[in-house]
Amino acid sequence: MAEKGLAYVRMQPPAGKEEIGSIEAAAEVLEIIAGIAANEIEGVASMRGNFASGVAERLGKKVHSKGVKTELHEDSLAVDIHLVVNYGVSIPETARKVQKQVRQALYNMTALEAQEVNVHITGIQFEHTPAE
CB 79 within 8 A of CB 69: yes
Residue 4 lies in a domain: no
Residue 48 lies in a domain: yes
Return the pLDDT at 54. 45
Residue 16 lies in a domain: no
Residue 13 lies in a domain: no
Residue 130 lies in a domain: no
Residue 75 lies in a domain: yes
Counting the structural domains of the chain, the total is 1
The pTM assigned to this predicted structure is 0.77
**Three-state DSSP class for residue 68:** strand
Going from the C-alpha of 29 to that of each of 34, 63, 77, 116, the distances in angstroms are: 9, 12, 13, 17
What one-character DSSP code corresponds to residue 88? T
What CATH number does the domain containing 27 carry?
3.30.70.1350
DSSP secondary structure letters along 17-66: PPP-S-EEEEHHHHHHHHHHHHHTSTTEEEE---HHHHHHHHTT---TTT
| Residue range(s) defining the domain that contains residue 54 | 22-123
Return the pLDDT at 104. 97
Write the pLDDT tens digit of every residue in 56-90: 445 565 555 678 998 887 778 899 999 999 999 99
- Residue 119, classified by CB atoms within 10 Å of its CB into exposed (0-12), middle (13-18) or buried (19+), is buried
Residue by residue, pLDDT tens for the chain (132 residues) are 444 445 677 777 677 777 788 888 888 899 999 999 999 999 999 887 544 444 444 556 555 567 899 888 777 889 999 999 999 999 999 999 999 999 999 999 988 899 999 999 999 999 865 665
Residue 91 lies in a domain: yes
Residue 131 lies in a domain: no
